[in-house]
Amino acid sequence: MAYLDYKVAQIPTGWRKILHISWPLVLLVTAVCCIGFVMLYSVAGGRLDLWAEPQMYRFAVGMVLMIGLAFVPMWFWRGISVAAYVVCFLMLVAVDLFGVIGMGARRWIDLGPIRIQPSELMKIALVLLLAAYYDWLDIRRVSRPLWVIIPALLILAPTALVLIQPDLGTSIMLVAGGAIVMFAAGVSLWYFAIIAAAGVGLVTAVLKSRGTEWQLLKDYQYRRIDTFLDPYADPLGAGYNIIQSQIAFGSGGWSGRGFMQGSQSRLNFLPEKHTDFIFTVLAEEFGFVGAISLLTLYMLILGFCLYSALTNRDRFASLITIGISGTFFLYFAINMATVMGLLPAKGSPLPLVSYGGTSLMILMLGFGLVQSAHVHRPR
């Protein structure tokens, strides 16, 4: 228990913890969420009740959750890490067996008033477990094959369950999130290089095998790849969303077309504008200035998290902070890249901004953990 090695007395207790919360981080998160409210108000055509208001309530709940979690000491997280992982894993199995089908995939467990999406909770639980694992593991063994295979399996088991839901996007997020923790824990770079090389090889194989007898993907999956590489090949079908998104994005120009003036959004050329394509609306209405500002806010959040992680001498806490902020980074980078046409279209929300309760709550839970790590850092 590395944490007990430090001078316990210097760690704040009771209500004094509130003074040690990273308030800049709270402010940044609030600022990003406020941008979200404004955009939700705008895409609803000036209606508050449609999306902005429910989102505000959720944010309020999420804020209380985050502050509340900041008070929870680190030993608690370490203690529940294995249990949390197992519970999430069992829930994933349950979802695959008898979950609610929505949008063509089984993702939800229905518990009366609330619906739980275990794959989202798993993102946090996986980071927790891996952090606890590397905290426990002798640092000299980190790169030994056996001790690399164990966390790899811990990552791949839930990923496989999510993949058969099917939810490719979340599976990728799980793998990437886990990989970030492994990376930060100091697993040899060779492993990552080999995985990267294998990935490149696989992509090559997939593309080369097309039309041959051992074709690896289904035809419609290849068509998606085609659409990504050249959306104009299917301008009214699969390419439609991404073309319209690019038009909206680009037409924002330097300062945008003005609040609630985006023609693409107003005229419904843009799909899913309150969720996956909300960044496009921001870029259209507030232009380059708006888009780069949001990116900057996100990067500042990352900066604070990284600073907290690097100055924290508790290995477990550092790894949690890096894992969660890394997952957060993947969230917004993937969404932004998608709406700008840099990645193939795959429904993913913009963190803290897109409408949606589950995503917001999970993020606030994550930031609560980051705060907890920050408050209880050894001094």
Partner 1 sequence: MKKSPREIQDSSRMITRRGLMLGGIQIATAGALAMQMRSMQLDHAEEFRMLADGNSIKIRLLPPARGLILDRNGIVIAGNEQNYRVTLTREEAGGDVEPILRRLAQIIPLSDARIEELLEEFSRRSAITPIVLADRLSWEEFSAIAVNAPSLPGVTPESALSRHYPRRGDFAHVMGYVGPVSDHDLSRIEEPDPVLRLPDFQLGKIGVEGRMEEILRGKAGARRVEVNSTGREMRELSRQEGEQGATLQLTVDAALQNYAAQRLGEESAAAVVMDCETGELAAICSSPSFDPNLFVRGISSRDYRALMDHDHRPLADKTVQGVYPPGSTFKMITLMAGLEAGVVNAGTRFFCPGHTELGGRRFHCWRRGGHGSVDAIKSLEESCDVYYYELAQRVGIDRIAEMARKFGLGVRHDLPMSAVAEGIAPDREWKMRRHGQPWQIGDSLNASIGQGYVLSSPLQLAVMTARIASGRAVEPRLIRAIDGVRQPIPEWPELEGVSANTLRVTRLGMDAVMYGSRGTARASRITRDEWRMAGKTGTSQVRNITAAERARGVISNEQLPWNRRDHALFVAYAPFEAPKYAISLVVEHGGGGSTAAAPLARDILLFALNGGLPPLDAVPSDQRAAMEARHQAMDLFIPEPPRNARTRV
Which residues would be at the binding site for partner 1 (CB under 8 A)?
1-2, 5, 136, 138-139, 180, 183-186, 220, 232, 234-237, 240, 246-254, 263-264, 267, 269, 283-284, 287-288, 291-292, 295, 298-299, 302-303, 306, 309-310, 313, 315, 318-319, 322, 326, 329, 333, 336-337, 340, 342
Q: Based on CB atoms, which residue is closest to partner 1, 71 or 329?
A: 329
DSSP string across 131-166 = HHHHHHS-GGGTTSHHHHHHHHHHHHHHHHHHHTTT
Q: What's the min distance (Å) between Cβ of 87 and partner 1?
A: 26
Nearer to partner 1 among residue 195 and residue 342 (C-beta): 342
Judged by beta carbon, residue 102 or residue 237, the one nearer partner 1 is: 237
DSSP-derived secondary structure letter, 101: E
Shortest distance, CB of residue 319 to partner 1, whole angstroms?
Answer: 7
Q: What is the closest distance, in whole angstroms, from the C-beta atom of residue 229 to partner 1 in the complex?
A: 16
Report how far residue 312's alpha carbon sits from residue 373's, in angstroms, rounded to the nearest whole number: 8
Tell me whether residue 68 or residue 102 sits nearer to partner 1 (CB atom). Answer: 102
Minimum distance, C-beta of residue 177 to partner 1, in the bound complex (Å): 12
CA distance linking residue 154 with residue 126, whole number of Å = 8
Residues 87 and 110: their CA atoms lie apart, in Å, by: 16
Nearer to partner 1, 119 or 312 (CB): 312
44 contacts: CB under 8 Å, gap ≥ 6: 50, 51, 52, 274
Among the listed residues 160, 92, 151, the one whose alpha carbon sits nearest the alpha carbon of residue 126: 151
Cα gap 118→96, rounded to integer Å = 11
CB of residue 301 to partner 1, shortest distance in Å? 11
- Alpha-carbon distance of 136 to 132, in angstroms, equals 6
CA angle 6–84–321, rounded 5-degree value: 45
Question: Which is nearer to partner 1, 62 or 366 (by Cβ)?
Answer: 366
Q: How far is the CB of 53 from partner 1 (least distance, A)?
A: 29
Burial class (CB in 10 A: 0-12, 13-18, 19+), 171: buried
